[in-house]
């Protein structure tokens, strides 16, 4: 089985991206939406698979602006100045083709406020031009509909350290799934995946962690492919949900429990203090995580259950994602 340990992984992970975020001048006005976070930081770890849906369906640069319009209760993508232009179906079709061609992508980063790429709600207009609620961009909506488990985020929101850590963790975890579980009929692969993500799940939702544990415990009750789909949907929904200091502290204490018979009273007190300091906001998550990694590496062999927990090493250290949360 290929390791999910980012320390030993040199392969960049394929991730979809709205092309204007890479600095390509593909916007309707000939501009771009360059995201330095994507091109400078994440590009060292992600192998971006770009698409500009509007250019891909044949719209030129520059082009007539388009917007979301409510037509008889349905959101359509129409020309802002020329309502006879309707590219809704073409954008949906492009999303389908993109996904068929790029099934290896482990996430997608979208541009915000776009009638095509907006992942979070974008303004919808009435036929007469008045604002009328909000909806997702047509391309983004189709991507999410086809693959609700795919980690997705908007570039602007990735500037928030917590959202960035959550997204990058989800990408690494889904990549692990694609590499080790998605294409196998071996039940053991799913059991091992679940085992190494136990504390990751716990840090997001105790209920999610319990539900998924029950699914894996009853492997014999369902067809494996059916169970895998059910598991993946709930798993990704769980790890895409926001975590909290309280959930992290609970998880850190559970990991600490593994060490109680192996470390000295003084070391135990140090660990306890680091978790409490994190809880009070004096130090970031990297402090207790580093200490736990240190002691688990000293006291357990590389193949030990606790050493393989993705919670302790969810993404490359160099990204510094535990420093800001």
Q: In what order do the strands lie in the sheet with 13-18?
A: 46-51, 13-18, 108-110, 152-154
When asked if residue 18 is in the footprint of ligand SF4 (CB under 6 A), the reply is: yes
When asked if residue 111 is in the footprint of ligand SF4 (CB under 6 A), the reply is: yes
Integer angstrom CA distances of residue 318 from 42, 45, 298, 312: 11, 10, 22, 14
Question: How far apart are the C-alpha atoms of 138 and 90, rounded to whole Å?
Answer: 10
When asked if residue 114 is in the footprint of ligand SF4 (CB under 6 A), the reply is: yes
Q: Would you tell me how many other CB atoms lie within 10 Å of the CB of residue 191?
A: 13
Nearest distance from C-beta of residue 112 to ligand SF4, angstroms: 8
Q: Which CB sits closer to ligand SF4, 6 or 53?
A: 53
When asked if residue 165 is in the footprint of ligand SF4 (CB under 6 A), the reply is: no
- Contacting ligand SF4 (CB under 6 A), which of 6, 13, 16, 19? 19
H/E segment holding residue 317: none
Question: How far apart are the C-alpha atoms of 218 and 108, rounded to whole Å?
Answer: 32
When asked if residue 140 is in the footprint of ligand SF4 (CB under 6 A), the reply is: no
When asked if residue 20 is in the footprint of ligand SF4 (CB under 6 A), the reply is: yes
CA 33 to chain centre: 21
Nearest distance from C-beta of residue 83 to ligand SF4, angstroms: 19
Contact 265, 272 (CB under 8 A): no
Question: How far apart are the C-alpha atoms of 84 and 205, rounded to whole Å?
Answer: 47
Determine the interface stretch with ligand SF4 among 110-118, 125-133, 154-162, 303-311 (rule: CB under 6 A).
110-118
Determine the interface stretch with ligand SF4 among 108-116, 124-132, 169-177, 178-186 (rule: CB under 6 A).
108-116
Tell me: cis bond preceding 151? Omega within 30 of 0 counts: no
Nearest distance from C-beta of residue 59 to ligand SF4, angstroms: 8
Q: Which CB sits closer to ligand SF4, 75 or 111?
A: 111
When asked if residue 198 is in the footprint of ligand SF4 (CB under 6 A), the reply is: no
Indicate the pairing of strand 46-51 with strand 66-71: unpaired
Q: Which CB sits closer to ligand SF4, 117 or 321?
A: 117
Could you tell me the two tokens for 224?
């494996």
Q: Which residue stretches of 4-119 are H helix? A: 36, 53-56, 88-101
Integer angstrom CA distances of residue 113 from 66, 127, 137, 139, 154: 12, 19, 8, 12, 9
Contact 77, 127 (CB under 8 A): no
Tokens 């509007």 -> residue = 54
Q: Which CB sits closer to ligand SF4, 19 or 135?
A: 19
Considering only residues 25 to 84 of the shown chain, the ones binding ligand SF4 according to CB under 6 A are: 26-27, 33, 52-54
Nearest distance from C-beta of residue 108 to ligand SF4, angstroms: 11
DSSP type of residue 263? S
When asked if residue 122 is in the footprint of ligand SF4 (CB under 6 A), the reply is: no
Nearest distance from C-beta of residue 18 to ligand SF4, angstroms: 4
Nearest distance from C-beta of residue 50 to ligand SF4, angstroms: 8
How many residues belong to the site for ligand SF4 (CB under 6 A)?
13
Determine the interface stretch with ligand SF4 among 111-119, 175-183, 184-192, 213-221 (rule: CB under 6 A).
111-119
- Contacting ligand SF4 (CB under 6 A), which of 105, 117, 143, 236? 117
Phi, psi of 119 (to 5 degrees): -85, -40
When asked if residue 4 is in the footprint of ligand SF4 (CB under 6 A), the reply is: no
Q: Which parts of this chain interact with ligand SF4 (CB under 6 A)?
A: 18-20, 26-27, 33, 52-54, 111, 114, 116-117
């Amino acid at each position: 089985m290929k390791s999910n340990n980012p320390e030993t992984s040199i392969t960049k992970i394929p991730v979809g991206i709205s092309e204007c975020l890479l600095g390509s001048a593909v916007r309707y006005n000939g501009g771009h939406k360059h995201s330095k976070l994507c091109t400078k930081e994440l590009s060292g770890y992600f192998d971006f698979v770009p698409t500009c849906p509007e250019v891909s369906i044949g719209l030129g640069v520059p082009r007539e602006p388009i917007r979301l319009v409510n037509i008889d209760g349905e959101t359509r993508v129409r020309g802002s100045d020329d309502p006879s232009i309707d590219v809704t179906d073409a954008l949906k079709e492009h999303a389908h083709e993109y996904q068929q061609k790029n099934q290896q992508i482990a996430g997608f980063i979208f541009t915000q406020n776009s009638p095509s790429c907006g992942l979070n709600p974008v303004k919808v207009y009435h036929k007469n031009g008045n604002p009328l609620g909000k909806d997702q961009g047509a391309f983004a909506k189709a991507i999410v509909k086809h693959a609700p488990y795919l980690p997705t985020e908007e570039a602007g929101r990735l500037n928030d350290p917590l959202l960035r850590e959550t997204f990058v963790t989800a990408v690494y975890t889904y990549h692990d799934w694609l590499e080790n579980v998605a294409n196998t009929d071996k039940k053991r692969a799913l059991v091992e995946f679940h085992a190494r993500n136990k504390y990751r799940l716990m840090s997001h939702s105790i209920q999610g962690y319990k539900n998924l544990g029950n699914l894996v415990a009853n492997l014999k009750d369902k067809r494996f492919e059916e169970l895998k789909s059910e598991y993946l949907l709930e798993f990704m929904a769980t790890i895409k949900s926001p975590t909290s200091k309280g959930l992290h502290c609970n998880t850190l204490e559970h990991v600490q429990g593994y060490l109680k018979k192996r470390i000295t009273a003084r070391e135990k007190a140090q660990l306890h203090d680091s978790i409490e300091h994190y809880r009070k906001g004096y130090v970031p998550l990297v402090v207790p995580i580093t200490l736990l990694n240190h002691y688990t590496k000293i006291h357990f062999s590389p193949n030990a259950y606790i050493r393989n927990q993705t919670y302790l090493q969810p993404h490359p250290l160099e990204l510094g994602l535990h420093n800001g949360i």
